[in-house]
Homo-oligomer: A and B are copies of this chain.
Amino acid sequence: MEQKLNKDGLTEEEFLKAYDPNKFERPSVTVDILVFTVADGEKENYRKLPKKTLKLLMIKRGNHPDIGKWALPGGFVNMDESLEEAALRELKEETNVDNIYMEQLYTWGDVDRDKRTRIITTSYMSLVDSSTLNVKADDDADDAKWFAVSCKCYEENKIPNEKGYVVERFFNLNLENEEDKLSAVVKVSKIIEGKVAKIKREILESDGIAFDHAKIIVYGIERLKEQAKNTGIVFNLIPELFTLTELQQVYEVILGTRLLKANFRRKILNVVVETDKYVKNGGHRPSKLYMLNPDYIDSKDIY
């Protein structure tokens, strides 16, 4: 290859030798991971199935800033690992699971996200099957704990203005376990000016949740719903073999709606294959176990 020179008359080799990244001030980069799982509650009586809840893994901060508050697992990206590798490493350190579903969500780059310095963070979402979950996270030195999540929109306003209109949605985020109750209010505004739509997310209140993690969580839950509707992502939350009711309950807890059994089954039948195994779950007819049809992992529009 011929040696091209830049306007200072340098070859690429000379240019790279002279390049000093420290000449410019620059941000730090972290990854944060939303680890979701769906766990069974208590069995109310011998007949009833346990109620499922969506849970999120949080870690109690042991240092400034926001010491004592709960944050998403994550940390600084090392120079020798990709973003995804960093996220997988952090996840492995916290939950001791690997070969796990992980997906990049969004990169948060506001200037004042962190009191220490300018920190840009890339958020990932990860789904684990609670039945295979190593409980290490439950009694870790770092104080990692699962919280039941709920995120509800309690108010929605459409406000016209000169240029178009704004749709404001107020979300109540609640994280709860036996010991702690965290909460936040996040306002999501869809700002429409002419044909250009912009989305703005603001934390109005945040009680016990570190940094701007409340809005990262709200965003992640929104994305989880979307992905549940359009992909086979939910199968990462349940065991290899499952009953159709179990699967339906996972959809219901993620989407936050009840589904009609007959319709759900019709739709999902293309995506699963029945096995010849059954489970007895109490005072009712035993249910057939199904497994994911591997050919349909990348199919769209599952629910």
Q: Which residues of A contact B (CB under 8 A)?
A: 4, 6-7, 10-12, 15-16, 19, 21-22, 24-29, 62-65, 67-68, 76-77, 79-84, 86, 99-101, 104, 106-107, 109-111, 115-118, 120, 122, 164-165, 167, 190, 192-197, 232, 235-236, 292, 294, 297-298
B-side contacts of A195, CB under 8 Å:
101, 232, 235-236, 292, 294, 297
Which chain B residues lie closer than 8 Å to A86 at the CB level?
109
Q: Which residue of B lies closest to A196 (CB)?
A: B101
Please name the residue on chain B nearest to A8 by beta carbon: B63
The chain B residue sitting closest to A12, CB to CB, is B64
- Asked whether, in the complex, the Cβ of B64 is within 8 Å of the Cβ of A6, the reply is yes
Report 16 cross-chain contacts, Cβ distance below 8 Å, ordered by A residue.
Answer: A6-B64, A7-B63, A25-B79, A26-B76, A26-B77, A27-B29, A82-B111, A84-B109, A99-B194, A100-B196, A101-B196, A104-B107, A107-B107, A167-B298, A192-B294, A195-B235
Q: Oligomeric state, in number of copies?
A: 2
Query: Does B116 lie within 8 Å of A62, measured CB to CB?
Result: no
Q: Within the complex, what minimum Cβ distance (angstroms) separates A142 from chain B? A: 13
| Contact (Cβ within 8 A) B107 A197 | no
* B12, A80: Cβ atoms closer than 8 Å: no
Whether A120 contacts B64 by the Cβ 8 Å rule is no
A251 to B64, CA, bound (A): 51
Query: B21 near A116 (CB under 8 angstroms)?
Result: yes
- Asked if A16 meets B62 with Cβ closer than 8 Å, knowing A28-B24, A120-B83, A165-B294, the reply is no
Known contacts A19-B117, A76-B24, A111-B82: does B196 contact A236 (CB below 8 Å)? yes
Q: How far is the CB of A28 from chain B (nearest CB, A)?
A: 5
Nearest-CB distance from A165 to chain B (Å)?
Answer: 7
